Amino acid sequence: MQTISIKDLLRKSLFFILVIFCVSPLASSPIALALGIAFTIIIENPYEQYLHKYIHILLQISIVGLGFGLQLNEALKAGREGITLTIMSISTVMILGYFLGKLLKLERPLSYLISVGTAICGGSAIAAVSPIIKPTTKQMSLALAIVFTLNSVALFIYPAIGHLLNMTQEQFGLWCAIGIHDTSSVVGAANKYGDVALKIATTVKLSRALWIIPMSIITMILFKTKGAKVKIPWFIGYFIIAILLHTYFPIFDGFSHIATTAAKSGLNLTLFFIGSTISIQTLKTISWKPLFLAIVLWIVVSVGSLLLILK
């Protein structure tokens, strides 16, 4: 029979105390992420190996819950506003990523993963195209580590820049959806800024995530991969259903408030889990060339989209 040491018991107890705090009204997205990072660096996460498969599930459930806080006309308006910027940013990142990757002499799968992750929706896009381009485990781990690290940075600096520039919630929500890689950090940063920003950022980011489908098809052509399957982000369909239920069925009005409140708590918990998987060992795997590529692409899309939004 395996015995649990006092140290392990305290570590696991503290983990669950932080989980309870993160789903409470006292927590915010940046605080949840910071607590997760601090916990795994100082104490070490006892559940790191189990969390990865639950992070995406919890994020998807939280996103669907946020759909109950949106009206269809709001979603359509946000989608229309973001479509041009989405197409421009994806095209720019993929083209620049290709040539910069060549210049830096990076392995093609690695530079492609970083470019796709920056262009569309971070870890989800990387996971979608990986079975098609067949990167090594090291290449995929490195791309994910870089994207998640930059996502963590974005969650803190985007709201600060937004307030510094006196951006409206509409402007900030659109900027988040275009400039930040992963959906979790997009929604987290927008949630910190305000409810209107959250609605716009969520809608535009999810419409952007649908580009995983055509990008996967293009990837199969570029890498001449036969028999690969295209991953479709089905949870976006449930998000749309939640919007329709809230828009056309008043019976869901009472439930909508509960669902959106629970979704925000779920988002904070997701960010805590993400932060708790970013360890010193993970950061040490990041070399300067792929990091340089990722930072340049991120700066280009962030600054470029910001200038277009503020003009």
Label residues 55-73 b or e (16+ Cβ within 10 Å = b).
Answer: bbebbbbbbbbbbbbbeee
List the Cα angle 46/150/56 in 5-degree steps: 50
**Res 289: pLDDT:** 93
**Res 227: pLDDT:** 66
Each residue's pLDDT expressed in tens, for the chain with a length of 311 residues: 455 688 888 889 999 999 999 999 889 888 999 999 999 988 888 888 788 778 888 988 999 999 898 888 888 888 787 888 889 999 999 999 999 999 999 999 999 999 999 998 888 888 888 888 888 888 888 888 898 889 889 999 999 999 999 999 999 999 999 999 888 899 999 998 999 999 999 999 988 888 888 888 888 888 877 766 777 778 888 898 999 998 998 887 788 889 999 999 999 999 999 888 887 777 777 889 999 999 999 999 999 999 999 98
pLDDT digits (tens, 9 = 90+) for 59-77: 889 999 998 988 888 888 8
Is-above-0.95 flag for pTM? no
Label residues 150-176 b or e (16+ Cβ within 10 Å = b).
Answer: bbbebbbebbeebeeeebebbbbbbbb
